[in-house]
Amino acid sequence: MARKWMILEDIYRYLGEEAPRVIKEEPFCRWRFNKIVEGDLDELIISYEDKKNGIIFSCNSEELIDAIFVARTGFYGSEKLYNGLSFSSSREMVGKCLGHPSKSGYSDLGAWDRFSFPGYTVHFEYRVEGDGINMVTFMANDVVP
């Protein structure tokens, strides 16, 4: 079975892909995704969630992946996450690795930074208690809020 870090390091490459096909391929075919449909006919949002493994594929009405949420809960803090970072990486380490964020802020969930790249954007949500990353979201640039 493929290691999770191998999945995470390149997971942004699934943006724009058909979710029903992606979840049937290795390594996701062994995971248990639940399909959730929300919204109305004007703005239908479909997601495929595997809470045990901490992954949510958020899709448009055509089931093309436009955002991927990766939660700390499904992974060990030391596992490779993205560009040499792990869930145990501090906000300072993220900045040193990726440079100055394109946008930053604070919410009830804690501090966050967003980094824009050609073709996709990465959003880091940091833990309120302690150091490290709570969630990472990979988004197609055309769906970034």
- Predicted local distance difference test score (pLDDT) of residue 98: 92
- Predicted local distance difference test score (pLDDT) of residue 129: 79
Q: Which residues contact 74 (CB under 8 A, 6 or more apart)?
A: 4, 50, 51, 52, 53, 54, 55
CATH code of the domain in which 74 resides:
3.40.33.10
- Predicted local distance difference test score (pLDDT) of residue 1: 37
Given a cut of 50, the residues of the chain with pLDDT beneath it are 1-6, 77
- Predicted local distance difference test score (pLDDT) of residue 3: 45
Total domains in the fold of the chain = 1
Question: What does the H/E/C string look like for the chain?
Answer: CCCHHHHHHCHHHHCCCEHHHHCCCCCHHHCCCEEEEEECCCCEEEEEEECCCCEEEEECCCCEEEEEEEEHHHCCCCCEEECCEECCCCHHHHHHHHCCCCEEEEECCEEEEEEEECCEEEEEEECCCCCCEEEEEEEEHHHCC
The answer to whether 90 and 131 are in contact (CB under 8 A) is yes
- Predicted local distance difference test score (pLDDT) of residue 9: 67
Q: Which domain holds residue 126?
A: 4-143
Q: How far apart are CA 138 and CA 69, in angstroms?
A: 7
- Predicted local distance difference test score (pLDDT) of residue 108: 82
- Predicted local distance difference test score (pLDDT) of residue 26: 84
- Predicted local distance difference test score (pLDDT) of residue 7: 57
- Whether the pTM exceeds 0.75: the reply is yes
pLDDT digits (tens, 9 = 90+) for 44-70: 889 999 988 889 999 999 999 999 999
Q: Which residues contact 117 (CB under 8 A, 6 or more apart)?
A: none
